């Protein structure tokens, strides 16, 4: 079974801090994704990466950056955390959409981030 692991289930940070959310997958997947999920707004894509050192903005990239130095790890960075970034953050991975578009997406358990 595919395993997508997010480093923290719950995280509390202060406004202005630099925050790192880590995600690791064990299936050698090329594609990785970061979403946030808010009540009434559903899942929204922040950034995705289709391979090592490759990244693309999603629907709501403002205030975030990402890093993909190794294939198995995809990090989401909040450069200067703000209260409106309090949310549930979900990481996902998938085999390459370019060559296997029929493959499913696999999700981690999520990180509930609170910015005070």
Partner 1 sequence: KQEVTQIPAALSVPEGENLVLNCSFTDSAIYNLQWFRQDPGKGLTSLLLIQSSQREQTSGRLNASLDKSSGRSTLYIAASQPGDSATYLCAVRPRGHNYGQNFVFGPGTRLSVLP
* Interface residue list for partner 1 (CB under 8 A): 4, 6, 31, 33, 42-43, 45, 48, 50, 56, 58, 88, 90, 92, 96-98, 101-102, 104-110, 112
- The least distance separating partner 1 from the CB of residue 81, rounded to whole angstroms, comes to 21
- Pick between residue 98 and residue 116 the one whose CB is nearest to partner 1: 98
Structure tokens at 71: 């294939």
Counts of helices then strands in the chain (DSSP H, E): 0, 11
- The least distance separating partner 1 from the CB of residue 82, rounded to whole angstroms, comes to 22
- The least distance separating partner 1 from the CB of residue 40, rounded to whole angstroms, comes to 8
Q: Give per-residue burial for 85-108: e unless 16+ CB within 10 Å, then b.
A: bbbebbbbbbbeeeeeeeeeebbb
CA distance 88 to 90: 7
């Amino acid at each position: 079974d595919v395993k997508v692991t997010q480093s923290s289930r719950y995280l509390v940070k202060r406004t202005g801090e630099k925050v790192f959310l880590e995600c690791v997958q064990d299936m050698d997947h090329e594609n990785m994704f970061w979403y946030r999920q808010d009540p009434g707004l559903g899942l929204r894509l922040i950034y995705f990466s289709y391979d090592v050192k490759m990244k693309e903005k999603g629907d709501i990239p403002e205030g975030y950056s990402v890093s993909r130095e190794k294939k198995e790890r995809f990090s989401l960075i909040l450069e200067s955390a703000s209260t409106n970034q309090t949310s549930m953050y979900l990481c996902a991975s998938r085999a390459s959409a370019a060559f296997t578009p029929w493959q499913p997406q696999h999700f981690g358990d999520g990180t509930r981030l609170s910015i005070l």
